[in-house]
Amino acid sequence: MSYSEATKIKKIKTRPKVVTLSSTQRITCPECNNNKEFLEVSDGVILTTRFVQNTDGSFSQEIDDSQVLGQVQFYCGDCGADLTQFHKRFLEMLF
């Protein structure tokens, strides 16, 4: 086991605030108990929008296609705590 892995495990063990979610639980910030507002921050995003030029020279937007190249992180919308551990759950519950 490398030093960094050992540090990681130790950190998790000493942080009792990290909770495991059951399938029915709502995501709640362990720092401030906010369960309403969340932020998803995407790194290195390429936004591509396709436009079609009309006969009169005006443009119509056809497709809005965005691509995330970097990391996606998930934060509490209230206190800004890093809730990336809940991001997978957030995506599962996103409709």
Q: What residues make contact with Zn ion under the rule CB under 5 A?
A: 29, 31-32, 34, 76, 78-79, 81
Give the C-alpha separation, 15 to 30, whole Å: 11
Phi, psi of 65 (to 5 degrees): -125, 120
Of 59, 61, 66, 85, the C-alpha closest to 74 is 85
- Of the pair 72, 81, the CB lying nearest Zn ion is at 81
Enumerate residues 6+ apart whose C-beta is below 8 A from 24: none
Q: Which is nearer to Zn ion, 33 or 67 (CB)?
A: 33
In whole angstroms, the minimum distance from the beta carbon of 25 to Zn ion comes to 16
Min dist CB 13 to Zn ion, Å, is: 22
In whole angstroms, how close is the CB of 31 to Zn ion at the nearest point?
Answer: 4
